[in-house]
Structure formats: C-alpha cells, structure tokens
C-alpha cells in the first residue's frame, strides 16, 4: 500500500523529491501546516526539468504555482529555466481559462437570446465548484448542453460566430450526421483564431441511459463573474458527471 506520508516526505523508495513536491504543492485546499513541507521538498529538488515535465504532463501548472505561492516560496520565475517554464505554463493556463470564462458567458447569452435553453458543463463552472476561483484548473474546452432538437440551431449559431465543426468534420455527409446524433453525445467545434474548443452536447454520456441530460428543467444558476450567472447541472449530478 502506498504510504502517502513517506511519499510527501520525499522517501526515495516511494518517490523522488520532484514528484513528492508536485503532489504536496497541488494538494487542495491549501493548509498552512503543509507550507513547511512544501518548502522543504522544494529545497531538496535537484532536477527542476523533471518537475516541469511532471507538472506539464498532469496539466497542473496553475495549481502547482498556487501551492508554491501559498508556501511563501520566491517567485516561481526565479532560478532555473525549468522553473521559468512552469511559471509561463501557469500564466498561459490562467489566461486561457479567463478567455474561456468570457467566451462561455457570450455563448450562453447568444444561445439563450435565440430561444435555446442551455446549461454549462465543466469548464469554468467546474473551476468554481472545485476551487472557488480561476487560475488553478487546466481547461481545454467549453462544454454546453442543449435539447437534442435544438442542436442544429445551436450549431448554426456557433458557425456564425466563426467556429468550425471538427467532429464530425464540417463536410461530413448527412448519413454521418444522422449516425452521430444517434450514437454519440456531442459535436466538437474549434475557433480558428482563438483556438477555443466547444463541445455541444445533447446528452452527457454515449450511453443514453446514464444521467440523462435532455431534461433542461433541472438547472441551477452559478455566478461566473459578479453580475453574470449561467445555468448548470444541480450539484449532485454535476459531481457525478465530473
């Protein structure tokens, strides 16, 4: 059985100080009692490129940087090139997340303005649910769910905003689209300028009997920024879905 205390003490038989530091610094919520342990592990790190590789592999740059900051360590940009790379990853992740937040708000307003009820899945809402803030969670795309009979209308609005459907491809045949709607759960879009991705769902899972998502009467508001809220899944199914 894995001994977590030994791991976080940097026991060489369990894990290297590099891996132990990443585990300790990404622990959430922050606990003042962990700050000294994080500082100790950081002082024992000899291979910062390995730390950077672990952080990038697990997409936890923002969370890792926040953990070091909480521990009162110097600016993460100071020191080696690898530490500077981690800082750059954390900043880029935070900027992308903020772009995603404001694009989420715009897309929700756009769809609702066209008479399409929509809920937001994961993304910015997951960051608020899990961390209560932005800048620590890696986010790849914006997930929206609408009723199945509203998918075509919603997709046309995404197209008008400049998004290109990539799954299935924009030139997919009518037969391919019918098969997709019958067997899958979403369509995927990408904006060629911003690089933002949108997944337009009509159900939550490929299996249509798991957490049915086509009943848009079940919705709760979540504030993403002061004065701006979006509809999300109720808390219990949202946690199950995540």
Q: Whose structure tokens read 């899945």?
A: 121
List strands edge to edge, sheet with 186-190: 164-167, 186-190, 197-201, 141-145, 119-121, 228-232, 220-225
- Looking at residue 34, its pLDDT comes to 86
- The domains located in the chain, with CATH, are 4-73 (no CATH), 95-241 (3.30.460.40)
- Looking at residue 126, its pLDDT comes to 87
Task: Tell me the C-alpha distance between 122 and 143, whole Å.
Answer: 6
- Looking at residue 76, its pLDDT comes to 60
Q: Whose structure tokens read 């399409």?
A: 116
If phi over 0 gives left and psi between -120 and 50 gives alpha, with beta otherwise, what is residue 120? beta
Task: Tell me the C-alpha distance between 70 and 48, whole Å.
Answer: 19
> Is the predicted pLDDT of residue 84 greater than 90, yes or no?
no
Task: Tell me the C-alpha distance between 207 and 80, whole Å.
Answer: 48
- Looking at residue 154, its pLDDT comes to 98
If phi over 0 gives left and psi between -120 and 50 gives alpha, with beta otherwise, what is residue 220? beta
Residue spans of alpha helices (H) in 71-170: 81-113, 123-130, 151-160
- Looking at residue 80, its pLDDT comes to 75
What digits encode the pLDDT tens for the residues 29-74? Answer: 888 888 999 999 998 998 999 999 999 999 999 999 999 988 988 6
- Looking at residue 1, its pLDDT comes to 46
Q: Is the peptide bond before 182 cis (omega within 30 degrees of 0)?
A: no
Percent of the chain with pLDDT over 70: 89
- Looking at residue 215, its pLDDT comes to 47
- Looking at residue 31, its pLDDT comes to 83
Query: Mean pLDDT throughout 172-184?
Result: 95
Output the pTM of the full model: 0.85
- Looking at residue 152, its pLDDT comes to 97
Query: Mean pLDDT throughout 93-108?
Result: 94
> Is the predicted pLDDT of residue 182 greater than 90, yes or no?
yes
- Looking at residue 114, its pLDDT comes to 98
Which of 4-8, 48-52, 205-209 is least confident? 4-8
Task: Tell me the C-alpha distance between 158 and 168, whole Å.
Answer: 15
- Looking at residue 115, its pLDDT comes to 97
Q: Whose structure tokens read 């808390």?
A: 235
Residue spans of alpha helices (H) in 161-222: 174-183
- Looking at residue 50, its pLDDT comes to 93
């Amino acid at each position: 059985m894995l001994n977590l205390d030994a791991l976080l003490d940097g026991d060489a038989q369990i894990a290297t100080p590099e891996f132990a530091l990443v585990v300790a610094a990404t622990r959430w919520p922050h606990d003042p009692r962990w700050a000294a342990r994080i500082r100790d592990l950081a002082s024992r790190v000899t291979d910062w490129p390995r730390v950077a590789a672990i952080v990038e592999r697990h997409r936890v740059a923002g969370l890792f940087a926040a953990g070091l900051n909480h521990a009162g360590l110097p600016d993460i940009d100071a020191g080696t090139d690898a530490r500077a790379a981690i800082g750059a990853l954390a900043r880029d992740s935070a900027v992308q997340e903020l772009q995603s937040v404001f694009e989420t708000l715009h897309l929700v307003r756009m769809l609702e303005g066209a008479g399409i009820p929509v809920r937001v899945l994961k993304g910015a809402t997951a960051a608020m649910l899990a961390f209560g803030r932005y800048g620590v969670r890696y986010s790849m795309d914006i997930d929206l769910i609408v009723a199945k009979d509203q998918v075509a209308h919603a997709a046309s609005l995404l197209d008008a905003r400049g998004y290109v459907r990539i799954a299935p491809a924009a030139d997919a045949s009518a037969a391919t689209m019918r098969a997709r709607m019958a067997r899958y759960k979403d369509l995927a879009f990408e904006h060629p300028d911003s690089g933002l991705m949108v997944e337009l769902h009509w159900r939550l899972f490929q299996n249509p009997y798991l957490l049915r998502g086509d009943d848009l009467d079940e919705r709760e508001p979540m504030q993403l920024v002061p004065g701006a809220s979006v509809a999300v899944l109720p808390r219990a199914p949202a946690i199950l879905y995540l």
